[in-house]
Chain A
């Protein structure tokens, strides 16, 4: 490898970077037989200048593609330099980076060259070589190419920790508009198949210990946000469907970065909808970890999340009748719902209140955003400062508070990790 190697890496890393999924956790692969690596804890080894985590070598096998999705740099009609790695090159690069502690593993995606199976077969070959020949136990995330055969998907699951098929656009109409070669069905079918296999292998492992693991970190998908006109209700509704019906581990939201002059899409220079993306991650978080229902956050009367305030505060303001809450007596589920109190602080409150009746300053010490929470806390002593504000008054006061600090940075990873 030489000059051409640098060039290839540049092209194929550049083309892969818009795929936002970066997580390298959720697998419990152990180092075995004194081999190389493990995939037991997700570590971000570096952060890009845009503040996103780098934990995997995320590259395309090739950016040659027979499809023409308008939002994608690799699309057939785009006049760009093309490159392709060999199987050996990807393996060598992954191992050499991993041994130097640059990465947690490999995230391999690809443009579709020739056809789906031809492409998928190469992705699988790389994973297989890493596992069987290099005794590599680091993290491997493979993209499942829509349309690939079930045999190949099955093999992929045996060597990869996670598989993902990107849904790309939250609605079929949106997808058809910008990716005429694709349909949701092409994505849902492999997802369904993988779901079935993941569950099957797990069940079997319970009975027969020697059953190999199958995509132990599960499946994920990604939706592009703001390229087409979907509402947050449609986006979160789709995500909910994936969590509930497809048992997906994660849905990623990727604010569209304009890269093409195609009149079906926002023009180059249109700002990336980062605040909206951040709000979607917050909502997703509330659903997965705080016990909220999607329809508590968005609905037909309220199709989009409020960009000015976070979804939890938004919910609280629409539901003032549920407050004030007394943190000294309320149960965990309700405490978690108080704006300004996160999961950790909620648990700390439950533990600490066994020792004493908690005062406002105790909450502050525990990392509660008290200036925000105070509007929702019980007026019974010692929390005496609660007045009967209207939602609008609370909203304004909290907004003033927010703006007096620096205007928040919006990135999914800041809010999540």
Chain B
């Protein structure tokens, strides 16, 4: 058993795959370089992220798979499910083991696991497109906080860029502590420092646009008014809008900032 230590990026993982073939490792185990070292078994191999190697692996995959299936490996990576690297590796190993395209072979566990992880990410990507709620500051920035289960920001960049081309916006993942910011030209990843003061609601109110709270209240009012009491069905409501998202959903909070 060899433990491959990589930098936690997708490129790094692809490089690791290259190294597995290069050094003919048998059983492998992946570890991010910031993970506690206690889990390492057998020999260790330090992966040096290399664009060329990563590209070669990607090209190999593209020759054997549809674009969708190649994307689904990336989506699996973003799922952050347990032992995600192994899940991806089992699939990739199968892909390279045979000559024909195996992506439809749903009786195979490795194929199915990647498909399911990708689906999981896909579903949350879709939800984030729906559940981002922008608030407008007095200097014209629309900002939103999100806390998705998967690392989906990279997958929603284009959607928001195409949609809100004429407003500056920021979507910040509070769990992973980074955001995507559009400055009317391009979208970049950003890290933010929150000062003590931002936790204080007076300070927040002073940075908001004067009509912001009015529209939040209007939205809550609207959300309440369209409900048909005779058809109430909380089970379905929660199924569609899981509780873990509520704290960032204006219509599910009672007001204030």
Contacts and interface: CB of A to CB of B under 8 A. Distances in A.
Nearest to A22: B226
Contacts of A36: 164-167
A48 B133 CA distance: 16
Contacts of A365: 106-107, 112
B226 A58 contact: yes
Nearest to A46: B251
B128 to A, nearest CB: 10
B116 to A, nearest CB: 10
Nearest to A34: B165
A43 interface: yes
A13 B222 contact: yes
B193 interface: no
Interface string B239-250: 111000000011
Contacts, number: 156
A135 B164 CA distance: 12
Contact of A57 (B112, B222, B239): B222
A18 B102 CA distance: 48
Contact of B227 (A30, A34, A49): A49
Interface in A259-279: 271-272, 274
A101 B134 CA distance: 6
Contacts of B196: none
B91 interface: no
Interface residues of A, number: 59
Contacts of A355: 102, 104-105, 107
B6 interface: no
Interface in A1-56: 1, 5-6, 9-10, 13-14, 16-18, 30-31, 34-38, 41, 43-54
Interface string A60-92: 000000000000000000000000000000000
Contact of B136 (A58, A100, A362): A100
A362 B104 CA distance: 12
A134 B182 CA distance: 20
A97 interface: yes
Contacts of B225: 9-10, 13-14, 17
A50 B237 CA distance: 6
A36 B166 CA distance: 6
The 6 A-B pairs of least Cβ separation, nearest first, read A51-B236, A50-B231, A351-B104, A13-B225, A47-B240, A51-B233
Given A17-B226, A45-B131, 16 more contacts: A1-B218, A9-B218, A13-B221, A48-B226, A48-B237, A49-B227, A50-B229, A51-B231, A52-B228, A54-B223, A257-B228, A258-B230, A356-B107, A365-B107, A409-B236, A411-B233
